[in-house]
Amino acid sequence: MIDQAAKRKILGLAGLGIRGRLAVVGVQQVRDAARRGKVKIALVASDASQNSLDKIVSLLAAKKVRVIDQLSSRELGEIAGRDAVAVIGVSDAGLAKGIADAIKVGFPGGSA
């Protein structure tokens, strides 16, 4: 489980990515970016619909994209300016590293 500080950092970094056009929002946009090899890390809502999960999870796994699935669609939606978002794909390597590092800090023992 990710602690609150790590969650805030992840959401903050993802929000920066969205505003800086270093991240894409939504199932179709993330699928397109993943197919082109652009997605470095993905935030998938823990409460996303099965239909959305079916469309994105296997593709991300095939492309060996790290998936973080411990945030809600409402939390992801807040940083994207929407009610709810199923997935956000981060395309910037530095931003992805920052998110991955926040995850490591958020786990007891320091490893994801």
**Which domains are delineated in the chain?**
4-106 (3.30.1330.30)
Confidence of residue 105 (pLDDT cuts 50, 70, 90): low
User: pLDDT value at position 109?
Assistant: 46
Give mean pLDDT, residues 89-97: 96
CB contact at 8 A, 90 and 96 = yes
pLDDT digits (tens, 9 = 90+) for 16-69: 999 999 999 999 999 999 999 999 999 999 999 999 999 999 999 999 999 999
What span, in angstroms and rounded, lies between the C-alpha atoms of 40 and 63?
10
> Which residue type sits at 82?
R
What span, in angstroms and rounded, lies between the C-alpha atoms of 2 and 30?
23
Structure tokens at 16: 């920066």
In sequence order, what are the beta bridge partners of 23? Answer: 90
Half-sphere exposure of residue 51: CA atoms within 13 angstroms, side-chain side? 2
Confidence of residue 104 (pLDDT cuts 50, 70, 90): confident
Which residues contact residue 112 at a Cβ distance below 8 angstroms, ignoring those fewer than 6 apart? 100, 103, 104
This prediction has a pTM of: 0.90
User: pLDDT value at position 2?
Assistant: 82
